[in-house]
Amino acid sequence: MNVHMSKVSQLFFISFVFLTDERKNVTPAKIELLHELLDDPTWCTSEFVRASIAVLRERYSALWEAYESGRITVDVDSLTREINAVTSTVTAAEAIALKQDLSVFVDKFTQASTTSLSRLGLSTASNARIQRQRTITHLLALVEEECGELSRKRANGTDAPFSSTTVAPSAAGPATGMARGELAHAEFASTSTAEVLESGATGALVPWNGRAIQARCVAVVNETKDTNTYVFGCETIGLFNYKPGQFISIEVKAGDRLLRRCYTISSSPSRPRRFSITVKRLDRGWISNWLAENMLVGVYAAISGPFGEFHIERTTNRKLLMLAAGSGVTPIISMLRWMADVGDARDVVLINSVRSPNDVIFGSEFRVLAAQLPAARIVVVPSSVVSAEWFGVSGRLSDAMLQALVPDVLERDVLMCGPSEYMRSATDILTRAGLPSDRILSERFGAADTGASVSAAPPASDSRGKAAPLRIPAAAPHPTAQIAEVAGPRWAGAVNETPDDWMAAKQPALIVFEQSGVEIACDAGSLLLEVAEANGVALNSACRSGVCGSCKVKKMAGEVRMPAGATLSDSDIADGCVLGCVGRVYGRVVVDR
């Protein structure tokens, strides 16, 4: 018997037991499914793995006996050792094939468990099984990282045997048995930032202080057919210190062009050694397409941040309402993950508005978080459904829906994030309910695509002008799918004006930076930020497209024109604030910088 195939067969067996027998309660259905996979290994893409599955079929009884007698242990450490044992004796190509086929194998058992109803109205596997599946996913992602290192060595002419030092148990942390790079959605144990600091994890490295860094992609996790999670680390950063809900700016070079975009950090600062973003590939999204095609393990990107004032630390209320639509769920998931990790037991209701059941973002993660946060209630609400697919709440957010789902809304602070149309409608609904505006914390997201938006509804009424009742049918199982969207810049030129029109006049302008004591002459229609940078006046910036608000400055006098849709709150506008990256100056302009 080939020793490699013997080791691979044992790895698959241990993975099966790790997933299905966490409490010595493996079911006959799982055993039957295992034998179906062993008898018909057409799900394998690799002949090497297919041959190893044949070995497992022959060794099944002996392996099960060894497990029952205690000669084979099954936990995170033993799983890590098995992956090490296998990947240390195979080629990089075989290791990648093994990763792919083992991922398919693991998914088979998780998918088979999604038949019972969770509190979300979504079908679900056990929380323990979901977490164990993600443990395996994490370890396999690290195998892929090691393969990337090997490919770089070979490209440099230094061929080396494959060795899975990345997941060596001796380097593992006590809580997880893992060496590096917690994936954003793989919540294996509750570890607060304070605990990491106390453990001395930073060594001689410095914390992230908001400066631009070169971050290295350490894992790419395929979430759906068009969505990936990109996990980043940095050799010079000990801890990525940010607040749950903040975002970063990522800059990559595509040919002779620099592409820049803002993405919310989807991981939690309670796991500060890595951070992640989750990106959906969009038809006309330059950077999302570039990331999908080029962002591999080992690739570097310029990262600036963190930015943003939309985070959970802005409220101390013990009762929260979180409203999210589309990409707006991204900062919310960071907040919920942080709450679960640090034991924040606040009473939280999340209403997550999506276009359809096929557009649920972080669906399985919500199930885990709902179990980890007993005081949290998570409701996914698609605006468009087919009755056979969905048996939970549906429709656009409305006055009636808010009252039915959150009757105590006036006792809560609101954290709200989503597209502009949704935000306006939701704010109107909250205002009509009697919630003061200072209890609403919000961040507006713009979509890079032009698809139908998720919006809140106007007050519902029937033909007689009476409020229409909210339909909340009895919950029943329905299929799950998770497709993430991406937040990004919304450029909509001001009516009847374009930057070319503005620049055509070529009239003189003057910018006075009051605090700096600097006066700069420029052409009318020049961008405030570009003029400042060209003359050594420091202004914060990130997205450079009117989305993130990092370059916000207060205009004391003069005229600054901005395109429609620039991210400024009503209070910012009332205070005279402008965005330097999209604000064009005319005549004499005075800013408070």
Q: Check if the beta carbon of residue 383 is closer than 8 Å to that of residue 507.
A: no
Using DSSP, state whether 94 is helix, strand or coil.
helix
The DSSP line for 409-444 is: GGGSEEEEEE-HHHHHHHHHHHHHHT--GGGEEEEE
* CATH class of the domain comprising 315-385+392-444: alpha beta
Higher local confidence (pLDDT), 102 or 482: 102
pLDDT of the residue at 271: 84
CA distance 164 to 143: 6
pLDDT of the residue at 129: 64
Helix runs in 40-71, H state only: 47-68
Packed helices 47-68 and 28-39: angle between N→C axes, nearest 10 degrees? 150
According to CATH, the superfamily of the domain at 508-591 is Beta-grasp domain (3.10.20.30)
What is the pLDDT of the chain when averaged over all its residues? 74
pLDDT of the residue at 48: 85
Could you tell me the two tokens for 432?
């009509």
- The secondary structure of residue 465, as a DSSP letter, is S
E-strand ranges in 326-463 read 347-354, 376-382, 413-418, 440-444
CA distance 147 to 150: 5
In percent, the amount of the chain with pLDDT more than 70 equals 71
* β-pair type (347-354, 376-382): parallel
Mean pLDDT of 384-395: 81
CA distance 282 to 263: 14
Residue 127: pLDDT band with limits 50, 70, 90: low
Instruction: Assess if CATH 2.40.30.10 describes domain 213-307.
Output: yes
pLDDT of the residue at 404: 94
Mean pLDDT of 9-31: 81
Using DSSP, state whether 329 is helix, strand or coil.
helix
Mean pLDDT of 295-321: 90
Mean pLDDT of 295-315: 89
Strands of the 413-418 sheet, one edge to the other:
376-382, 347-354, 319-325, 413-418, 440-444
pLDDT of the residue at 280: 77
How many CA atoms, within 13 angstroms, populate the side-chain half-sphere of residue 96?
A: 11
Span 356-366, pLDDT tens digits: 887 887 887 88
Residue 499: pLDDT band with limits 50, 70, 90: very low
Packed helices 92-111 and 76-87: angle between N→C axes, nearest 10 degrees? 150
In percent, the amount of the chain with pLDDT more than 90 equals 25
24 CB-contact burial (10 Å; exposed 0-12 / middle 13-18 / buried 19+): exposed
pLDDT of the residue at 440: 93
Mean pLDDT of 130-147: 66
The Cβ of residue 69 has, within 10 Å, a number of other Cβ atoms equal to 8
Mean pLDDT of 296-317: 89
pLDDT of the residue at 554: 93
pLDDT of the residue at 122: 43
CA distance 523 to 75: 67
pLDDT of the residue at 117: 35
Torsion-angle region of residue 121: left (phi > 0), alpha (psi -120 to 50) or beta? left
Residue ranges per structural domain of the chain = 3-110+129-151, 213-307, 315-385+392-444, 508-591
Q: Check if the beta carbon of residue 181 is closer than 8 Å to that of residue 274.
A: yes
pLDDT of the residue at 44: 92
With a cut of 50, say whether residue 198 has pLDDT above it.
no
Using DSSP, state whether 504 is helix, strand or coil.
helix
* Least confidently predicted of 97-106, 297-306, 537-546: 537-546
Mean pLDDT of 325-351: 90
Using DSSP, state whether 84 is helix, strand or coil.
helix
Q: For residue 332, which phi and psi values (nearest 5 degrees)?
A: -65, -40
pLDDT of the residue at 114: 46
pLDDT of the residue at 390: 80
Q: What is the 3-state secondary structure (H, E, C) of 518-564?
A: EEEEEECCCEHHHHHHHCCCCCCCCCCCCCCCCCEEEEEEEEEECCE
Q: For residue 194, which phi and psi values (nearest 5 degrees)?
A: -60, -40
pLDDT of the residue at 584: 93
Mean pLDDT of 512-532: 91
pLDDT of the residue at 236: 77
Helix runs in 69-126, H state only: 76-87, 92-111
Q: Which of 64-73, 99-108, 408-417, 545-554 has the highest mean pLDDT?
A: 408-417
483-502 exposure pattern, b = at least 16 Cβ within 10 A, e = fewer? bbbbbbbbeeebeeeeeeeb
CA distance 205 to 238: 5
Task: Indicate if 508-591 has the same CATH topology as 315-385+392-444.
Answer: no
Q: Which of 117-126, 190-199, 534-543 has the highest mean pLDDT?
A: 534-543
* Least confidently predicted of 19-28, 230-239, 520-529: 19-28
**For residue 152, what is the enclosing H or E element?**
helix 127-155
With a cut of 90, say whether residue 204 has pLDDT above it.
no
Query: Hey, what's the torsion of the CAs at 325, 330, 333, 335, to 10 degrees?
Result: -110
**For residue 304, what is the enclosing H or E element?**
strand 300-307
pLDDT of the residue at 23: 66
Q: Check if the beta carbon of residue 153 is closer than 8 Å to that of residue 104.
A: no
144 CB-contact burial (10 Å; exposed 0-12 / middle 13-18 / buried 19+): buried
CA distance 110 to 23: 16
With a cut of 90, say whether residue 82 has pLDDT above it.
no
**One-letter identity of residue 461:** S
pLDDT of the residue at 197: 34
With a cut of 70, say whether residue 565 has pLDDT above it.
no
Could you tell me the two tokens for 510?
């003057």
Higher local confidence (pLDDT), 188 or 53: 53
Give the pTM: 0.56
The Cβ of residue 64 has, within 10 Å, a number of other Cβ atoms equal to 14
Q: For residue 338, which phi and psi values (nearest 5 degrees)?
A: -60, -45
Mean pLDDT of 413-420: 90
407 CB-contact burial (10 Å; exposed 0-12 / middle 13-18 / buried 19+): exposed
Q: What is the 3-state secondary structure (H, E, C) of 377-402?
A: EEEEEECCCCCCCCCCCCCCCCHHHH
- Tell me the sheet residues that pair with 323: 351, 416
* Least confidently predicted of 61-70, 404-413, 501-510: 501-510
pLDDT of the residue at 150: 47
pLDDT of the residue at 324: 93
Mean pLDDT of 49-70: 87
With a cut of 90, say whether residue 398 has pLDDT above it.
yes
User: 412, 417, 243: which is closest to 334 by C-alpha?
Assistant: 243
Q: Which of 200-214, 304-318, 414-428 has the highest mean pLDDT?
A: 414-428
Q: Check if the beta carbon of residue 388 is closer than 8 Å to that of residue 151.
A: no
